[in-house]
Structure formats: C-alpha cells, structure tokens
Amino acid sequence: MRAKYVLYEAATGLWRNVTMTVAMIITMAVSLAMLGASGLLFLQVDKVKELYYAQVEVTIFLAEDVSDEDREALDRALDSDPLVSHYYYESQEEAYEKARELFSDAPDLVEALRPESLPESFRVQLTDPEQFREISVTYIGWDGVSEIVDQERLVGDIFSILNAVQVMALVIAAVMAAAALLLVANVIQVAAYSKRREVSVMKMVGASNWFVQLPFVLEAVVAGVIGALLAFAALAAGKYFIIDGPLAPLSMLLTPVPWRNVLLTLPALAAVGGLVSAVTGWVTLRFYLKP
C-alpha cells in the first residue's frame, strides 16, 4: 500500500508539473547524450592510439660516410637494447626498391632517384611505442647516425584534434549537466511547494523523512532515466545515420565505432541519469524540507 502511495504520488507529481518535467527531461537527455558521446570518443581515441602506436616505427638514418664499425656497433646496441622489440636493417638498394614502388605512378621522380641518394637505415619497433624519445636521445649522438625520425609526429596532429574534440564534448557535457542539476533542483522545489500542505501535515503527524521525500526523489529519478533513454536513442541514431552513413569513409582512418560500445552507454547513462537525479533531489529536499 505504501509503495502504491509513493508511486502514485510520483506519477501525479510528474504530470502536474508537465512543462517543467519536459524541460528537465530534455536537458537531461542532451547532457547525457553529450556525456555518452564524449565517453564513446574517449574509448575511440584510445583504440586509434593503440592502432597507430602498433605501427609506429623509429627510423635511424645513417650518414653517407658511415663506417662498417659504426654500423656494426649500432647493430649490436639495438640488439641488446630492452626498449627495442625488433628491428631490421634497410640498405640503400632496399630503400631504392621501396621508393620505386611507392612512387610508381610518378616515373619522372623514379628516374631521378639513385640508390646512392637514399640513406641506409635501421627500422626499429619499440616495446613501448611512447618511448620513442628515449631512443632518439640514446642514438642521435652516435657516430654514423645522421637523423632519427619517428611517425609519432604524423600521428600527433590527428591525436591533438581528437583530444580537442574530446575535451570540448566533455566541457559541453559538464555545462549541460550543471543546467540539468539546477533544473532537477528547481523541479523538485516546485513539486514540494505545490504539495506543501500535504508535506506539513505529514511532518506534523510524524511521517518518516524518507516517506515524505521518496515521491519527489522518485519523480526526479524517473525523469532522469527517461532522459537517459532519449540520450541513448540519440546516440544510436547518430551511430546508424551519421557514423555509419556519411562518415563511414573516416572509419578507415579512425577505426569504426562498435555497436557494443554504443549499447554499453545505455546502462551507463541510465545509471548516471538516475543517480544524479536522486542525489540532487535528496540534497535539495534536505534543505527545502527541514524537520
């Protein structure tokens, strides 16, 4: 019977104050959608990083006048270096072959190439790709080394764009979340005010605090969960119509967003939406309905 009372009160509360409820649900939905999107982006950026790092290799170019001793010394050092997972030597001829392949549709360029004009190099893959700097520092001063190049720099630009987008989504989500919190607090206060007579009688006759507060908190939680459902629908639609639609070619570059991650946002957003509403509601009422 008490459960029925609480549920009934929560439902009529939501209905009585329907414009505010709708505003609360929409704000909740937008902020949760932003949160979900930045969460997905976060997972995505991590995965892209992994993918790129796996391919990153450090190239140690050798000087034109490198001596055999220098080359062998370098070879031995790389062989015993714990930072190096594996490496191979690329001679001038091999470099020339590669370049011919790479520029095969520009015969003029290939024509101008001579094996002697290309440097020989060691191609090094690292055990931990993020430590390429240590490799550079270690080997740059060695005799016979002319230059050390890594592809991190190429990848870096993409990452800084992704990071910026990620931060932006998080900031928007935070601002929207603040708006949602204020709205929840306001809706609860309006609800409590519109039922002030009932509340004062309940307190007068000794209804327990949770019994007085639960309908209001439940009202906010229901709105929060509905907001989460809408946010999930928006994310799923975004995945289906945008990521897998016009943006599909990008997934070659940025790895596709898996449905598994999108589905994962449903329980996460519902939990965040429900919990945030519950806590906000409860805190608001503690100030609003003093004993």
Contact in structure between 45 and 166 (CB atoms under 8 Å): yes
Both tokens of 93, joined, read: 């001829």
Cβ at position 285, least distance to another protein in Å: 13
Tell me the residue length of the chain.
291
C-alpha angle 4/188/193, rounded to 5°? 90
Helices (H), 195-258: 196-205, 209-238, 250-254
Is residue 54 involved in binding another protein (CB under 8 A)? Answer: no
Q: Interface with another protein by CB under 8 A: which range of 156-164, 194-202, 226-234, 239-247?
A: 194-202
Residue type, 134: E
Report the residue from 116, 200, 242, 251 that binds another protein according to the rule CB under 8 A: 200
Report the residue from 211, 236, 256, 288 that binds another protein according to the rule CB under 8 A: 211
104: Cβ contacts below 8 Å, ≥ 6 apart = 110
Is residue 202 involved in binding another protein (CB under 8 A)? Answer: yes
Report the residue from 3, 18, 54, 205 that binds another protein according to the rule CB under 8 A: 205
Residue type, 48: V
Give 163 or 209: the residue with its C-beta nearer to another protein. Answer: 209
Q: Interface with another protein by CB under 8 A: which range of 71-79, 197-205, 221-229, 230-238?
A: 197-205
Report the residue from 23, 158, 207, 229 that binds another protein according to the rule CB under 8 A: 207
Cβ at position 202, least distance to another protein in Å: 5
Is residue 103 involved in binding another protein (CB under 8 A)? Answer: no
Dist. CA 146–CA 122, nearest whole Å = 12
| Interface pattern 111-140 for another protein (x via CB under 8 A) | ------------------------------
Contact in structure between 193 and 19 (CB atoms under 8 Å): no
Count, residues near another protein per rule CB under 8 A: 18
Query: What order do you get walking across the sheet with 84-90 strand by strand?
Result: 84-90, 121-126, 58-62, 145-150
Cβ at position 230, least distance to another protein in Å: 33
Is residue 282 involved in binding another protein (CB under 8 A)? Answer: no
Classify the phi-psi angles of 63: left when phi > 0, otherwise alpha if psi is within -120 to 50, otherwise beta.
beta
Is residue 209 involved in binding another protein (CB under 8 A)? Answer: yes
Is residue 201 involved in binding another protein (CB under 8 A)? Answer: yes
Dist. CA 55–CA 85, nearest whole Å = 12
